[in-house]
Chain A
Amino acid sequence: MGEGKDLRDSSPTVYQALRQRGVSRRDFMKFCSLMAATLALPASFAPKIAEALEKAKRPSLVWLEFQDCCGNTESFLRASNPTVVDIVLDVLSVDYHETIMAPAGKDAEKSLQDVVKNQKGKYICVVEGAIPTRDGGVYCCVGGRAAIDIAKEVCGNSLATIAMGACAWDGGIPSANPNPTGAVGVKDVISGVPIINLPGCPANVVNLTGTVVHYLTFGSLPLTDNNGAPLFGYGTRIHDACQRRAHYDAGRYVRQWGDEGHRNGWCLYYMGCKGPETYKNCPTALWNDRTSWPVGAGHNCIGCASPKFWDTMTPFYSRLASIPGFGVESTADKVGLGLAIATAAGVTAHAIARAGRKHIRHEDEEKTAKTEDK
Chain B
Amino acid sequence: MAGAAEVRRRIYVWEFPVRLSHWVNVLAITVLSVTGLYIGTPFLYPVSDTAFTMGWMRFLHLTAGYLFLMMVALRVYWSFAGNKYSNWRVFVPRSKSQVRDLKEVTNYYLFKRSTPPYDEGHTACAAFAYFLLFLIFLFQIFSGFALFNNNSHTAVHFILGGWLARLINIKTIRFWHHMLMYPIWAFVIVHIYLSLLMDSSGKNGLLGSIFGGYKFMAGRG
A58 at the interface (CB under 8 A from B): no
CB closest residue in chain B, given A308: B169
Which residues of chain A are near B182, meaning CB under 8 Å? Answer: 335-337, 339-340
Q: Known contacts being A308-B169, A340-B182, A354-B197, is A270 close to B42, with CB within 8 Å?
A: yes
CB closest residue in chain B, given A345: B189
| Cross-chain contact A251 with B44 (CB below 8 angstroms) | yes
A242 CB → nearest B CB, Å: 13
Q: Known contacts being A319-B41, A339-B183, is A277 close to B52, with CB within 8 Å?
A: no
B152 CB → nearest A CB, Å: 11
Contact of A250 among B46, B179, B189, B197 (CB under 8 A): B46
A111 CB → nearest B CB, Å: 41
Contact of B171 among A237, A239, A321, A347 (CB under 8 A): A321
Give A318-366 interface residues, CB cut-off 8 Å to B.
Answer: 319-321, 332-333, 335-337, 339-340, 342-344, 346-347, 350-351, 353-354, 357, 361
B7 at the interface (CB under 8 A from A): no
B2 at the interface (CB under 8 A from A): no
A78 CB → nearest B CB, Å: 30
Which residues of chain B are near A339, meaning CB under 8 Å? Answer: 182-183, 185-186
Interface size on B, residues (CB 8 A): 34
CB closest residue in chain A, given B191: A347
CB closest residue in chain A, given B111: A357
Which residues of chain B are near A311, meaning CB under 8 Å? Answer: 169
| Cross-chain contact B51 with A277 (CB below 8 angstroms) | no
B144 CB → nearest A CB, Å: 14
Give B144-203 interface residues, CB cut-off 8 Å to A.
Answer: 150-151, 169-172, 174-175, 178-179, 181-183, 185-186, 189-190, 193, 197
CB closest residue in chain B, given A322: B175
CB closest residue in chain B, given A358: B114
Distance in angstroms between the alpha carbons of A312 and B42 in the assembled complex: 22
Which residues of chain B are near A269, meaning CB under 8 Å? Answer: 42
| Cross-chain contact A251 with B193 (CB below 8 angstroms) | no
A259 CB → nearest B CB, Å: 11
B80 at the interface (CB under 8 A from A): no
**Per-residue CB proximity of A294-325 to B under 8 Å, as 1/0?**
00000000000011100111100001110000
Centre residue among B51, B171, B182, B190 by max chain A CB count within 10 A: B171
Which residues of chain A are near B169, meaning CB under 8 Å? Answer: 307-308, 311-312
| Cross-chain contact A340 with B42 (CB below 8 angstroms) | no
CB closest residue in chain A, given B109: A350
Distance in angstroms between the alpha carbons of A161 and B138 in the assembled complex: 42
Distance in angstroms between the alpha carbons of A319 and B109 in the assembled complex: 40
| Cross-chain contact A332 with B54 (CB below 8 angstroms) | no
Q: Known contacts being A313-B171, A320-B175, A336-B179, is A253 close to B42, with CB within 8 Å?
A: yes
Distance in angstroms between the alpha carbons of A204 and B65 in the assembled complex: 38
B111 CB → nearest A CB, Å: 5
Which residues of chain A are near B52, meaning CB under 8 Å? Answer: 249-251
| Cross-chain contact B150 with A237 (CB below 8 angstroms) | yes
| Cross-chain contact A343 with B42 (CB below 8 angstroms) | no
A276 at the interface (CB under 8 A from B): yes
Which residues of chain A are near B219, meaning CB under 8 Å? Answer: none
Contact of A248 among B45, B54, B151 (CB under 8 A): B54
B98 at the interface (CB under 8 A from A): no
A interface residues (Cβ-Cβ under 8 A, vs B):
237, 239, 248-253, 269-270, 276-277, 306-308, 311-314, 319-321, 332-333, 335-337, 339-340, 342-344, 346-347, 350-351, 353-354, 357, 361
8 further A-B pairs in the complex, CB-CB below 8 A; given A251-B54, A270-B41: A277-B150, A312-B171, A314-B171, A336-B178, A336-B185, A340-B185, A347-B189, A351-B197
B interface residues (Cβ-Cβ under 8 A, vs A):
40-42, 44-46, 51-55, 57, 109, 111, 114, 150-151, 169-172, 174-175, 178-179, 181-183, 185-186, 189-190, 193, 197
